[in-house]
Amino acid sequence: MRDIFIVCNNLEELGGLQRWAHHVGRLFAERGHRVHLIGVTHAQDRHDYGRDLPYDLTVLHEVPPPDRRKGRLREMRRRAVQRQGAARLSRMFRAARPGGVIIAAQVWAMEWVALADTADMPVIGMSHESYQATKTSSRYERVKRHFADVHRFLVLSTEDADSWARDGMSNADFMPNPLHVTPTVRPDLSRPVVELLGRLSFEKGQDMMLEAWAEVRAGFPEWRLRLYGAGPDEAALRRQAEDLGVTGSVEFRGTTADVEGALNEASIVALSSRVEGFPMSVMEAMAYGLPTVAFDCAPGVRELITHESDGLLVRPGNTMQFAEQLARLMGDEGLRAKLGEQARSSIQRFSAEMVMDRWERMFALVDR
Amino acid sequence: MTDVSVVVIVYNDADRLPAAVRSVLGQSHRDVEVVIVDDASTDATAGVADALAAAEPGRVRVVHRADNSGGCGQPRNDGIAESRGTYLMFLDSDDTLDQHACRNMVAAAEEHEAELVSGCCWRVYPDKGEESAWYRGVYRERGVYASVRERPELLYDTLSTNKLYRRDFLDREGLRFVERLHYEDLLFSTQAYLAARKIAIIPHRVYNWMIYENAETLSITNQRAELRNFADRLEIFRRIDAVYVRYGADDLKLSKDVKFLNHDLLLYVRGLRSRDREYREAFLALAREYMATIDPRAYGEAHELQAIIGFLVARGDDEGAVTAADYVGKGKTGKPRLTAPLVERDGRIYWSCDHLDTEEGRRILDVTELGIHSLPLKSLNPGGRVTGMARAGRELRLSGDVVNPLNRIRADAGLSARLEFRDRSRTGRFFAVPAEVTLAGGRLRWRARVVPGRDVRPLGFVDQSWGLRLRLKAGEDELIIRLFGDDPMDVSVPVRPRLTRLAGDHFEAYVPESGEMAFRLVAHGRAGRVTLATLRRLTATGRGRRWWTALLRAERRWRTVFTRRSTKLAVYNKILIRLPIRRDTIVFESHLGKQYSDNPRYIYEELRKSGAHHTAIWSYAKNPAGFPKDARLVRRGSWQYYLALARAGYWVDNQGFPRDAVKRPQTIYVQTWHGSAYKRMGFDEPQVKRSTRAQRDRFQRTVDRYDAFLIRSEHDARTLAKGLGVRAELIRSGYPRNDPLVNGGDTTELAEELKLTGDDRKVVLYAPTFRAGPGGKALKRFEMPFDLEEFAEELGETHVLLVRPHYLNAAVVPPSLRGVVRDVTAVHDVTSLLLLADALVTDYSSLMFDYALLDRPTILFAPDLQEYARSRGTYFDLRREGPGPVVTEPGELFAALADLPGVAVRYAERRRGFVERYGEYDRGTAAKQVIDRFFTGGRDA
């Protein structure tokens, strides 16, 4: 039994990272650990992650700390605020019993952990996106700076860990997301519905999905594409659907709380993202025995899906091939059943049990 | 019990031992111990080691050996005996472990139950501030292997130090280091690889191999010791062969033999250059005896040149072997240097004219595929020598020669040369004197006289070493030839450094490690002797050395910053574009400066004809040869280039000026582009589609610099311009380069150049499109999708084939086919090639659009049409709309070529439709329209 501190940017947003934090918090607690989830600040839009949680929730800054901006005075003020938050962290860390660990789940949150007194506990850093995604963003320099000296730096897949190791992060290792759903129903794969769940945003690539859809639609008049989720690109996507003349077969369904209900009506799940980490929507689909067509946009995707065995992978951005593979699945119920069945069993590699065991081994290792 | 014992061996290294030991004690994995084995050091090492042990009792122990072993084997074995850990590692006293080495290795060992774990070793050069991964290829990703047979390339990494061994594994196999032989690592690691029941590989850095720059010394290495080393190495190899046999792994011997050729032998043969006859004889005797045991298949699997080296050594031809070693190149430092004259026999190129009497010799020495015979003169890089050096008063008389490979350098080209003294630590700084050159006996002989006191003015202290090179002009080509000194010559001559006599007063000839002939600054006078000796003494101390290297590094850094692209761009974007603009200047560029060709060329020529008073500036990428003499030439990427861009009134180009260079609003950018599109372009391309928003915005920004964009048809507007996201004005002029295709043009000059005058065979141009390798980079060598020999046999009587791969790829045409196949890669201007050709063969190149204007037969040879269309995406169906038949088999291609009149007739309708759809604006007046519109019409069009 350990004190486990999980420090994130915030714990309230509706996002993959937050879902992950609450999920592993619960799993650690179930294993008898004392879990402290810590958000640096509040989110703007707060999602309800439930009551009577089996772990503590702390927010360091009620008012969001100032952003990094030019100007020496501003920077001094920012630092002062940051130090206050870090002091709160230090108090929590010092109160921990021996054997505790600190998990800095995001690089921004790590800035606070770095300033705090960790009371000799090992610090585990994490990045929840692919190496390539970090590499092309402003986070890259910060990850290399702030996570250089943590005891372990965890990313989502072996391939990402190897990329970081090659890039000089000799503390890099991997820790997949644990499977977070336990299906109670089983889609029968006969309904002519393709679903895509995700924020309507450039990153999720629904624009490419629509292009591909425009190519396959002609051959499959009875099929529908359902886009679940809301987001900044909604208007543009509706316009694009109109330009492509596919409005009749594309349904914008908005956000849903009932993922199981939605998946139960699908026969195929699509992932058209430009960037991903270890996509939960694919894990969900696989757990429900649904075949997935996905752009091979991140190591996490290929770690989950084995092409032609439990899903279909397409070269990123190649909408023609995406359309081709969709059409293959739409026209072949046998293939859907075969891939879906395989998906259901292969996703168990990432069952909560397996992943939590890996975490325990990781904790034991950093103690030595 | 401890997890990991690290055995640190040390001999006379008191200074660095503490750092090595600290790197172990500071491991993130805390359960480690250190066993220091002092190999009877004679300096303070023993005391330092004891102090380290006293400071960390229980974690550090010391073994003091009574006598020096002279190697690493015995001390390491002593350390193994003394250690108590479950796992073992070895560390040398001048190196360090990465902070997480033990944690990563232990984790991998436990996760996979591996007996041997190996991680990446990095070579660190503290003086230069550089580092590089050792055998990166082996350590790209993690892996677990039940046997080394699953991953034989592991055997390439023969270090014993970047590895973690289970102690019970070493004991079970009786694995210890061999004693009294050098290269004990090789044997030990081979045995470990073979004996381990499971091997884990991790890409993480585990070991820092520190390499300190040696002060360059004159001392000739002890030849006898070197020969002993070589003999030891061969003995180790023999024992490794025995190990293979013991573990039933004879099949691995081949890969070791290949490595011997590729790596080990090369290393020694390189060293031969400065060795005397006696040494060479002894070396050859050792090598030939060993090479009798090599698997003959190794020659086939080794790299081409390395196989030649092995073959020639085995035949006792050390001279020949040395020339082959010269052409291998040495990573960053040494370019390949051609010191063999090569011979052509029966249409093939051979490395040497000897040893061609056997089939084996002809096979191994055949270097046609290297394509040297068709390299541009500039890239030939022939090797030169200094053979004579004499002092007459203050004057130095130098002479030497340069090989003339395949007689490519021709006397009638008009030869002239300058001899240059170059600062060896700074690129681009040199002093030159005239030299005489003559061609004689297949070699180029040169002679020069120089008065260093007058002609060469070093600064002193910071530029101690000066190398010799010859700058040879042969017609339009300029070759820079490094001059090598085979024998060190004992000559010194007065020189006057700018920092007075304190910095030295004589140039002394010497041959540094690189083998080039060089001079170093020495002091014969008292003043210089004192200052130089003081400097040397200062830099020998720890602090002085750090201070001096810091100074040199700062200077080097400043120089690299100054010449860096990002610096130039920043200065360009912040300062240069604020300079006053010169309305009348036009910067032209074609294909990133690689050619004088395409639309920009035809616009330029029309501009010259129109008599408009503009200043034209042409950008060239590497070689100014072939660019117009009446324009100002700037090298792409140079400071002058950026200055020209900043101040130009117009930019004219067909591909893209540096993409982060801002275009001033007053500058007019005419983007002509370089062809209509069959494959999807820009935002329609999968590669761009998938890119992030930031990448797309960047792409859009570069395109938004265009003010005008030339198109050939509405098809271009719908596909190309839309795909690229062009928001500039579309100029519906057609392509200037196509004007001659409509109006007719003169090809006599080109025909003459290609020796086709009076040849009444059909001229077929084969111009396939760009091909990328697996990594997305251009394929260096283009694999011909049909057999050229077969073409020659079937159609050689009636057809001539001109081969022109995309300008980023290259193909090799063997000289035997010279009569039938011509490589026309070097011809800048494709328009005249189109005019000359009676038929075009391509796959997806945009040339099909241009060639259609001539209404001559086109054959689309596209073996991978389906795959290409699927992976790249296309704008129309080639089979339905293409200007000629689509064929996928060489047989079909030859049949179609044999019946060109038939193809012409059958596809006449298609061609007409094709031109109407895709070339409607090509009416032969494009260049004039562009000139009228932008350069002779109203100002600020």
ipTM for the complex shown: 0.88
Instruction: For residues A52-80, give the mean pLDDT.
Output: 87
Mean pLDDT lowest for which of B96-105, B500-509, B637-646? Answer: B500-509
Q: Are B490 and B501 in contact (CB under 8 A)?
A: no
CATH of domain B379-524: 2.60.40
Please give the Cα distance from B228 to B473 (Å, whole number). 46
Mean per-residue pLDDT, B181-199: 93
Cα dihedral sign for A141, A146, A150, A156?
A: negative
**Is the CB of residue A240 less than 8 Å away from at least one CB of chain B?**
no
The percentage of chain A sitting over the pLDDT mark of 90, rounded to a whole number, equals 82
Q: Decide if B4-210 and B379-524 have a common fold.
A: no
Cβ-count burial of B333 within 10 angstroms (0-12 exposed, 13-18 middle, 19+ buried)?
A: exposed
Sorted by where each begins, the domain ranges of chain B are 4-210, 223-374, 379-524, 587-734, 744-918
Q: Is the pLDDT of residue B527 over 90?
A: no
The pLDDT of residue B337: 86
State the smallest CA–CA distance between residue B686 and chain A in angstroms: 4
* Angle between helical axes of B565-574 and B639-647 (0-180°, round to 10): 20
Residue A253 lies in a domain: yes
Same domain, A154 and A47: yes
Query: Do B650 and B670 form a contact (C-beta atoms < 8 A)?
Result: yes
Q: What's the pLDDT tens digit per position in A171-196?
A: 999 999 999 999 999 999 999 999 99
- Residue B220's pLDDT band, with cuts at 50, 70 and 90, is very low
Asked if pLDDT for residue B941 goes beyond 80, the answer is: no
Decide if A363 is inside a domain: yes
Partnered with residue B588 across adjacent β-strands are B618, B652
Is position A358 within any domain? yes
Q: For residue B774, list chain A residues with Cβ-Cβ distance below 8 A.
A: none
Confidence label for A29 from pLDDT (cuts 50, 70 and 90): very high
- Selecting from B31, B104, B693 the residue whose C-beta is nearest the C-beta of A170 gives B104
Give the distance from residue B23's alpha carbon to the nearest chain A alpha carbon, in angstroms: 14
A185 belongs to a structural domain = no
**Dihedral over Cα of A281, A211, B717, B679: its sign:** positive
Range of A52's domain? 3-178+351-367
Contact A158 B689 (CB under 8 A): no
Are A22 and A80 contained in the same domain? yes
Asked if residue A198 and residue A159 are part of one domain, the reply reads: no
B587-734 belongs to which homologous superfamily?
CDP-glycerol glycerophosphotransferase, N-terminal domain (3.40.50.11820)
Dist. CA A322–CA B689, nearest whole Å: 13
Which pair of structure tokens corresponds to residue B132?
């590089």
Q: How far apart are CA B871 and CA B682, in angstroms?
A: 14
- The band of B219, judged by pLDDT with boundaries at 50, 70 and 90, is very low
How many other β-carbons are positioned within 10 Å of the β-carbon of residue A324?
17
**HEC-encoded secondary structure of B784-802:** CCCCHHHHHHHHCCCEEEE
Q: Which of B794, B793, B832 is nearest to B816 (CA)?
A: B793
pLDDT tier for residue B819 given thresholds of 50, 70 and 90: confident
Task: Pick the closest to residue B384 from B398, B395, B397 (CA basis).
Answer: B398
Q: Of B462, B807, B439, B804, nearest to B622 (Cα)? A: B807
- Collect all residues of chain B within an 8 Å Cβ-Cβ radius of residue A319: 686, 689, 873
pTM for this structure? 0.81
Q: How confident is the model at residue B736 (pLDDT cuts 50, 70, 90)?
A: very high
Q: A368, B29: Cβ pair inside 8 Å?
A: yes
Cβ contacts of B136 on chain A, cutoff 8 Å: 166
Average the pLDDT over B252-279 and give the result: 86
Neighboring chain A residues of B693 at a CB cutoff of 8 Å: 202
- The pLDDT of B227-237, averaged and rounded, is 90
Average pLDDT value for chain B: 89
Contact A317 B871 (CB under 8 A): no
Q: Identify whether residues A140 and A224 lie together within a single domain.
A: no
Backbone angle region of B395, left / alpha / beta, with phi > 0 → left and psi within -120 to 50 → alpha: beta
User: What superfamily does domain B744-918 belong to in CATH?
Assistant: CDP-glycerol glycerophosphotransferase, C-terminal domain (3.40.50.12580)
Lowest model confidence (mean pLDDT) among B21-30, B346-355, B480-489, B862-871:
B480-489
Residues A172 and A226 in one domain: no
Contact with chain B for residue A284, Cβ under 8 A: no
Are A167 and A92 members of one domain?
yes
Do A249 and A213 meet the contact criterion of CB atoms below 8 Å apart?
A: yes
**Judgement on whether residues A25 and A170 belong to the same structural domain of the protein:** yes
Say yes or no: A324 contacts chain B, CB-CB below 8 A: yes
Partner residue facing A168 (CB), from B141, B205, B685: B205
Same domain for A343 and A359, yes or no, is no
DSSP codes joined into one string, B6-60: EEEEESS-TTTHHHHHHHHHT-SS--EEEEEEE---SSTHHHHHHHHHHHSTTTE
Of B414 and B777, more confident: B414
Q: How confident is the model at residue B940 (pLDDT cuts 50, 70, 90)?
A: very low
Residues A156 and A202 in one domain: no
Q: Strand A3-8 and strand A34-41: pairing?
A: parallel
For residue A197, which of A284, A102, A133, A306 has the smallest C-alpha distance?
A284
What is the domain count for chain A? 2
Which tokens sit at A120? 């000799």
Q: Whole-angstrom Cα distance, residue A144 to residue B782? A: 40
Q: What is the pLDDT of residue B214?
A: 58
Lowest mean pLDDT among A128-142, B56-70, B777-791, B820-834: B777-791
| A173 in contact with chain B, both atoms CB, cutoff 8 A | yes
A252 interfacial to chain B (CB closer than 8 Å): no
The beta-carbon neighbor of B871 closest among A165, A297, A318 is A318
Domain co-membership, A174 together with A322: no
Identify the residue among B2, B4, B27, B28 best suited for mutation to test binding to A, counting A beta carbons within 10 A and taking the highest: B28
Residues A197 and A134 placed together within one structural domain of the fold: no
**Residue A296 in tokens:** 């091979």
CA distances to B224, B583, B608, B610, B627 from B613, rounded to whole Å, are 72, 11, 9, 9, 19
For residue B215, what pLDDT band results from cuts at 50, 70 and 90? Answer: very low
Least confident window among B370-379, B607-616, B817-826: B370-379
Residue % of chain B over a pLDDT of 70 = 96
Task: Reply yes or no on whether the pLDDT at B469 is more than 60.
Answer: yes
Tell me the pLDDT tens digit for each residue of B152-168. Answer: 889 889 899 999 999 99
What pLDDT score does B807 carry? Answer: 66
Instruction: Say yes or no to pLDDT of B225 above 90.
Output: no
Which residue in B107, B204, B873 is closest to A320 by CB distance? B873
Domain range B4-210, its CATH number among 3.90.550.10, 1.10.1380.10, 3.40.50.11540, 1.10.3720.10: 3.90.550.10
pLDDT digits (tens, 9 = 90+) for B540-573: 777 777 787 788 788 878 888 888 889 999 999 9
Does residue A291 have a pLDDT over 50? Answer: yes
Window 867-896 of B, Cβ < 8 Å to A: 870-871, 873
Q: What is the pLDDT of residues B620-679, one digit of tens each?
A: 998 888 899 999 999 999 999 999 999 999 999 999 999 899 999 999 999 999 999 998
Residue A21: CATH number of its domain:
3.40.50.2000
Q: Which pLDDT band holds residue B237 (cuts at 50, 70, 90)?
A: very high
- Within a domain: residue A188? no
Closest Cα in chain A to B141:
A162
Same domain assignment for residues A201 and A313: yes
